């Protein structure tokens, strides 16, 4: 499924670049990925074998009114090819490919509570310093880390979470 999503995403990015609409399509793809991720009913509807492709298509086009022609053509193609269930993956992969083509790196920050604007700015600066590239921050809230943060940029991870420190202490005490 991931391979197919990457193929569709590459094709859409190529078409969008040819038509100088890559940024507008990226905005559409971000909206689609976020909306599907946040809405369990929409996600279930897309995965349901009971709901006909035509209903899925009209629902998506109604939900995402005003999207770029390239994006609506993607929806039509996925419906035709009976692959509409992977639209969220295609949208995510498109955004990754678009960011990479623009030299933008995505830094994922996992915290126990929501990031403040001040902290977000500090994370952006640190991530930019580490990579030397433009960076956007994607914030994830995970209360299980108790406090601190986990920063991931590409394949680099910096774990400054309280739960990680507690695990290290626990390992030290069990070894001795």
Residue 30 has pLDDT above 90, yes or no: yes
Q: How many domains does the chain have?
A: 2
Q: What is the pLDDT of residues 71-98, one digit of tens each?
A: 999 999 999 999 999 999 999 999 989 9
Which DSSP state fits 39? -
Q: Which domain holds residue 148?
A: 104-175
Euclidean distance between CA atoms 126 and 105, whole angstroms: 13
Q: What is the pLDDT of residues 138-170, one digit of tens each?
A: 788 888 888 878 888 777 777 878 888 888 888
Q: What is the mean pLDDT of the chain?
A: 87
Banded pLDDT at 21 (limits 50, 70, 90):
very high
Average pLDDT on 93-110 reads 86
Does residue 166 share a domain with residue 91? Answer: no
Does residue 143 share a domain with residue 85? Answer: no
pLDDT at position 76 is 94
Residue of 5, 31, 24, 2 lying closest to 94 (CA atoms): 5
End position of a domain, from candidates 100, 116, 148: 100
Does residue 136 share a domain with residue 60? Answer: no
Does residue 92 share a domain with residue 116? Answer: no
37-41-46-50 Cα dihedral, nearest 10 degrees: 160
pTM strictly above 0.85: no
């Amino acid at each position: 499924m991931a391979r197919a999503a990457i193929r569709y995403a590459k094709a859409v990015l190529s078409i969008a670049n040819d038509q100088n609409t890559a940024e507008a399509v990226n905005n559409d793809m971000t909206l689609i990925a976020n909306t599907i991720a946040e809405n369990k009913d929409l996600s279930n509807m897309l995965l349901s074998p009971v709901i006909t492709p035509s209903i899925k298509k009209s629902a998506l086009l109604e939900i995402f009114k005003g999207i770029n022609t390239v994006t609506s053509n993607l929806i039509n193609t996925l419906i035709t090819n009976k692959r509409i269930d992977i639209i969220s993956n295609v949208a995510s992969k498109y955004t990754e490919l678009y960011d990479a083509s623009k030299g933008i790196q995505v830094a994922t920050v996992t915290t126990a509570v929501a990031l403040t604007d001040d902290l977000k700015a500090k994370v952006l600066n640190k991530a930019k310093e580490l990579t030397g590239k433009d960076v956007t921050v994607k914030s994830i809230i995970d209360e299980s880390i108790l406090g601190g943060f986990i920063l991931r940029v590409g394949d680099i991870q910096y774990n400054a979470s309280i739960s990680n420190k507690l695990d290290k202490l626990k390992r030290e005490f069990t070894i001795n």
